[in-house]
């Protein structure tokens, strides 16, 4: 099972951060949560280590990719409050040691579903993009969020989505589903950090700060 290669590690916005120490990247991430490049740089630095620890604990490449993504999602939500200078749990102020510990926790607590139940695609949504997509999804109106997940993660047709929602008491036609989906994709894209759209969706830098227009967003399901 080969270690995945992530092209974002060669993106200029990410490469420009490689000279920073772990502590500097952590501080930048915690101080600028509206930007995604700092977490992405941490991911690129330590993804080979984390995947190496994970790859022997899963029965298939699909499960390994999913556990890898789950681990980085756990890291994303925990690292915001991490203080390496007061990390008495590990007895170390090393980000690497903390990541190894977090990976071990995820491996030991993982209850992975069978391969056929996993809809996550690591190529479509590498872990940093997945984390920010999940965050952006949480900001959508509930019904719109449900439509986007059914369309993107489960590949349901507009007719099937409308039928499901009608069975749940929503008065909606397939044409309205199409309109709501477009609205959802636009909102989802707008909710992503600007630099994440530049790194992952191919937007162009039009000013010193990333501002541009993306073409599409893919949602990775659980």
| Residue 220 in this model has a pLDDT that exceeds 80 | no
49 SS3 class: helix
How many Cα neighbours within 13 Å face the side chain of 172? Answer: 24
Report pLDDT digits (tens) over 136-193. Answer: 999 999 999 999 999 988 899 999 999 999 999 999 999 999 999 999 999 999 999 9
CA-nearest of 74, 63, 57 to 119 is: 63
Q: Give counts: helices (H), strands (E), the chain.
A: 10, 0
Question: How many whole angstroms separate alpha carbon 94 and alpha carbon 78?
Answer: 15
Per-residue pLDDT, 1? 67
Sheet strands (E) in the chain? none
Question: How many whole angstroms separate alpha carbon 166 and alpha carbon 172?
Answer: 6
Tell me what percent of the residues of the chain surpass a pLDDT of 70. Answer: 89
Task: Decide: 49 and 99 in contact? Cβ < 8 Å.
Answer: yes
Instruction: Name all domains of the chain by residue range, CATH numbers in brackets.
Output: 7-113 (1.10.1740), 119-222 (no CATH)
pLDDT band for position 214 (50/70/90)?
very low
């Amino acid at each position: 099972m080969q270690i995945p290669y992530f092209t974002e590690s060669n993106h200029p916005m990410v490469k420009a951060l490689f000279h920073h120490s772990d502590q500097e990247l952590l501080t930048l991430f915690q101080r600028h949560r509206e930007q995604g490049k700092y977490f992405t740089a941490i991911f690129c630095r330590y993804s080979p280590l984390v995947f190496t620890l994970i790859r022997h604990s899963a029965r298939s490449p699909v499960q390994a990719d999913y556990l890898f993504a789950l681990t980085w999602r756990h890291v994303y939500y925990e690292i915001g409050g991490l203080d390496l200078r007061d990390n008495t749990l590990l007895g170390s102020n090393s980000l690497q040691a903390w990541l190894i510990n977090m990976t071990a926790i995820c491996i030991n607590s993982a209850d992975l579903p069978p391969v056929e139940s996993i809809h996550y695609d690591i190529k479509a949504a590498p872990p940093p993009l997945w984390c920010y997509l999940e965050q952006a999804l949480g900001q959508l109106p509930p019904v719109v969020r449900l439509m986007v997940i059914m369309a993107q993660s489960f590949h349901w047709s507009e007719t099937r989505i409308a039928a499901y929602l009608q069975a749940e008491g929503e008065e909606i036609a397939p044409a309205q589903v199409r309109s709501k989906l477009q609205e959802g994709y636009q909102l989802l894209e707008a909710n992503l950090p600007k630099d994440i759209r530049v790194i992952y969706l191919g937007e162009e830098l039009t000013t010193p700060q990333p501002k541009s227009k993306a073409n599409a967003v893919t949602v990775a399901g659980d």
